[in-house]
Structure 1
Amino acid sequence: MEKITVTKQAVKKLRAGYPLLVKEDLTLDIEEDRFVQFFDGQQHFLGTGYLSKQNKGVGWLLTADNIKIDHHFYVEKFVAARSLRATFFQDELTTAFRLFNGEGDGIGGVTVDFYAGYAVFSWYNAFIFAQKKAILSAFKVVFPEIIGIYEKIRFVSTDKNSVSKESSFVSGKEASEPLLVKENGVMYATYLNEGLMTGIFLDQKNVRAELVNGLAAGKTLLNMFSYTGAFSVAAAFGGSAQTTSVDLAKRSLEKTREQFLVNGIEPETQKIYVMDVFGYFNYAKKKQLSYDVIVLDPPSFARNGKKTFSVAKNYGELVASSVEILATNGLLIASTNAANVTDKKFRQMVEQALKNKGVSFTIFQEEKLPSDFHVAKEFPEGNYLKVLFINIKK
């Protein structure tokens, strides 16, 4: 295993257990895609990990111990992860959740999600993907009941021979299409081998739970950037008077209809629009429509023709547009998973937009990642989800 020396700043981080390595932490340009041992300038051992470029950083610290990263190591990590999620396996109302959350469970670069007996691996860099055989072998020891395994390739491969598809069936028995899963008693239609997404974002479990439990009961709800309409279905299940789902993707119409149907809700009783979100805001204003509850959960970055949207630059515009079609005493659920926007910055953007509109407001609840998305205390930015529940009076 190669020994490498890191910068003084990196020494401080690694000794504190901070797992992510960035390019500036390395003293030299070092060949990537390999296990390494980290040392300080006096050649004191700091830990064992690996180097491999990905969307964030160039590598991960895996352990402060001087050990080999092998089958036994992976088994230990999966055993600990399973133990943390024991209550989820016993919950008959929820059959989809995160089994293994990357660096939060001790192996940065790979996550595993559970869908009603099936496992979906997501690989975030080439080197951890190259350890697939050993990792899957350890996983099957700890989770022998898994029916089948799928994978998502979430990195750009330079070797076109080794990675051919972004989504693949790996082993075991293939899942039905759709595969119906439950969350808080609500059914969701998922597809484990349809690109990088499955039909539901599991990290929003707690927000959907609030809607299922009646947060929008008897109220109208507008779900912007609705994807497959999961927030809308949760709200309808929880007694919403009517939901309106808006998303630019053409597939959203069919997918959202399906989510209502699997819950015995006639799609015709709800409203589903395939159109640009800002275009819908304008449409709603012209038609003098208003909503009691508005959910804003945009992608971190999106492009529509020549127009671009990013949470960091444009989220305030969404908030301002929402206020204009919100009922006199309305509720805004403002959400983002943008890792480049801190909790403080997100709250400031939302609050400033509301102040600019001259409304009174109260942020009465905040949500972060649910407990199955286990976050390492040494890596708080791993808790990327930010959700604000805001009462607004106009």
Structure 2
Amino acid sequence: MNTIQLKKGAERPFHKGRLNIAEEDLSDAVFLKDGEVVELTDYLGAFIGYAMMSFEQRTHGWILSRDEDVQIDERFIREKIITAIEERTPLYNQEDTDVFRIFNEIGDGIGGLSIDDFNGHLLITYYSAGIYKIRNLVVQVLIETLTPESITEQTRFSIDGRMQIENTPVTGNAPERIIVTESGMRFNVNLTAGPMTGLFLDQRETRKALLKNKHSHNEAFLNLFAYSGSFSVAAALSGMSTTSVDMAGRTTALVTENFNVNDLPLDNHHIHIMDTFDYLKYAERQDHQFDTILIDPPSFSRNKKKVFKVGRDYPKLIREAVKILKPGGELILSQNLETFTLNQFKKQIDETMKHMGRGYTLQDVKGLPKDFRTTSGYRNGKYLKIVTIKLAND
């Protein structure tokens, strides 16, 4: 096993529990291989932990154990996966939900690896070429432990300098359309079509809150960056009329299919294939007003010459949305940029509202559901922030 050293002065955060290793933390990493397990020491040679190198965008490696007597071998990997599954046993006993995450990267002890269960069909995602090297062991453990209907692998890492995302069937037969149940709602999922399955599992609590908060049919819900319309389904089942907006042409079919599988008629529900900012201007011109507006943008997107960056452009989204929000209406604001903390997001919201001279009250704050296990050793793992505010009546 190779030994690598931290630069002088870089050891302090690791002594406090940090798990992610940046390239600039290391004195020399030129000779290392992606996926290699190494011994990490401080600049004096004192043991810090055993780490797996992982040449991905977020990190250069992950500490797997701080126990000098532990062996990082197949047994270690196997126990991490089995332990994660056992800790999620209550999820398998739910009557109204059969879709959830069963392994969440460094939160469950192995950075760069996630595993999701879609009603018995598993999706394994590898975020580096290094972690992909243990794929055979991961698949073997899952077959032995869960006997799944099917397993699909998704690779999300750079090859020859270019990010490549590919879904590959491994075992069993994953149908083109899998119907999953979450909080009694049903959604269509496709594990073979590309990087997105049709349902973002980390937003479960947001959908549940929408579903449980009952409304009258006279109340209107606007879903911006709607994708497959899962939020719209929850809002519709709660009693609201809905409008779903996304610039991707596939959205019409995805939203319609999700409404159909929930036996929801499309009366009083609308879909617009438009740029979000264009729709907000259109809605203002048409004097449309909404009781609830949900904003869940990507971290980055490009539409022709327009570039959207969530950290920079979120205030503009809020300003334009408030123009079509009824007095006393709610904004559900979601942000998933890892490097942007909850406190930064709340401050950004507050400064935007104050600059507009609009009063509001903070209604709710949510983060990742429990199956997306995180750890204090990797603060950026708590990437999801959902803040709900209520506009003042004046």
TM-score of the pair, normalised by structure 2: 0.95
- Note the C-alpha offset of 1:10: 3.6
Cα RMSD for the two superposed structures: 1.7
Task: Answer yes or no: is 1:377 the counterpart of 2:379.
Answer: no
Counting only pairs closer than 5 Å after superposition, residues 10-25 of structure 1 correspond to structure 2 as 10-25=10-25
Per the alignment, residue 128 of structure 1 pairs with 131
Match of 2:51 in 1: 49
Report the equivalent of 1:32: 33
Matched, 1:4 2:4: yes
Deviations along 1:301-330, whole A, 9 cap, x unmatched? 111111111111000000000100001110
Unpaired runs of 5+ in structure 2? Answer: none
The alpha carbon displacement at 1:280 in A equals: 0.3
The answer for the alignment partner of 1:82 in structure 2 is: 85
Q: Which amino acid aligns with 2:202?
A: D
Cα separation, 2, equivalents of 1:285 and 1:15: 54
Letter in 2 for 1:179: I
Secondary structure of the residue aligned to 1:131 is helix
User: In the alignment, is the contact (CA less than 8 A) between 2:339 and 2:380 conserved in 1?
Assistant: no
Q: How does 1:200-239 map to 2 (within 5 A)?
A: 200-214=199-213, 216-218=215-217, 219-239=219-239
Deviations for 1:230-286, whole angstroms, at most 9, x for unmatched residues?
Answer: 10001111221x000000000001111001000001234410010000000010011
Aligned residue in 1 for 2:287? 288
- Map 1:313-392 → 2, pairs under 5 A: 313-392=312-391
- Residue 17 of structure 1, CA deviation: 2.8
Distance 2:377 2:187 in 1: 34
Provide the rounded CA distance (Å) in 2 between the counterparts of 1:209 and 1:324: 27
Instruction: Please report how far the alpha carbon of residue 87 of structure 1 lies from its aligned counterpart in structure 2 after TM superposition.
Output: 1.2
Distance 1:164 1:387 in 2: 29
Q: Give the Cα separation in 2 of the matches to 1:159 and 1:170.
A: 26
Which region of structure 1 is more displaced relative to structure 2, 115-124 or 146-155?
A: 146-155
Label 1:216 to 1:387 Cα distance change in 2 as closer, same or farther (>3 A).
farther
Post-superposition Cα deviations, 1:344-377, rounded to whole Å, max 9, x if no partner, equal 1111111111112221100121001000001113
Secondary structure of the residue aligned to 1:103 is: helix
Distance 1:215 1:27, change over 3 A: farther
Query: Which of 72, 88, 101 in structure 2 is aligned with 1:98?
Result: 101
Deviations 1:141-169 (A, max 9, x none): 3x233221111111112399xx9861111
Q: 1:371 is paired with a residue of what secondary structure?
A: coil
Indicate conservation of the 8 Å contact 1:74/1:138, yes or no: no
Aligned residue in 2 for 1:154: 156
- Corresponding letter in the other structure for 2:222: L
CA contact (8 A) 1:75 1:139 kept: no
SS in 2 for 1:155: strand
SS of the residue 1:333 aligns to: strand
* Matches of 2:351 and 2:161, distance apart in 1: 46
Any idea what SS the aligned residue of 1:390 has? Answer: strand
Q: Distance in 1 between matches of 2:94 and 2:187?
A: 16
Q: In the aligned structure 2, how far is the partner of 1:159 from the partner of 1:23?
A: 17
In 2, the alpha carbon distance for the partners of 1:32 and 1:318 equals 43
Corresponding residue number in structure 2 for 1:277: 276
C-alpha distance in structure 1 between counterparts of 2:165 and 2:336, whole Å: 25
1:145 aligns with 147
3-state SS, counterpart of residue 114 of structure 1: strand
- In structure 2, what is the Cα distance between the partners aligned to 1:286 and 1:350? 25
SS at match of 1:156: strand
- Contact 1:216/1:293, CA 8 A, preserved across alignment: no
After the TM superposition, which parts of structure 1 deviate over 3 Å for at least 4 consecutive aligned residues?
Answer: 215-218
Q: Partner residue of 2:256?
A: 257
User: How many residues align structurally?
Assistant: 389
Counterpart-to-counterpart distance in 2, 1:97 and 1:165: 21
Distance in 1 separating the partners of 2:210 and 2:47: 50
Q: Could you report, residue by residue, the CA deviation over 1:47-72 in whole angstroms, capped at 9, with x for unpaired residues?
A: 11111211201111111123332221
| Cα distance change, pair 216–150 in 1 and its aligned pair in 2 (3 A) | farther
Q: What is the letter of the counterpart of residue 359 of structure 2?
A: S
CA distance in 2, matches of 1:159, 1:216: 50
1:108 aligns with 2:111: yes
Report if aligned partners of 1:71, 1:137 keep a CA contact under 8 Å in 2: no
When normalised by structure 1's length, the TM-score is 0.95
Structure 1 CA distance for aligned equivalents of residues 223 and 161 of structure 2: 40
> What's the CA shift for 1:216?
4.7
- 1:59 paired with 2:58, answer no
Question: What SS class does the counterpart of residue 29 from structure 1 fall into?
Answer: coil
Distance in 1 separating the partners of 2:299 and 2:191: 23
What is the distance in 1 between the residues matched to 2:165 and 2:4? 34
Report the secondary structure of 1:369's partner residue: coil
Instruction: Give distance in 1, aligned partners of 2:101 and 2:214.
Output: 25
Which moves more between the two structures, 178-187 or 56-65? 56-65
What amino acid does structure 1 have at the position aligned with 2:168? S
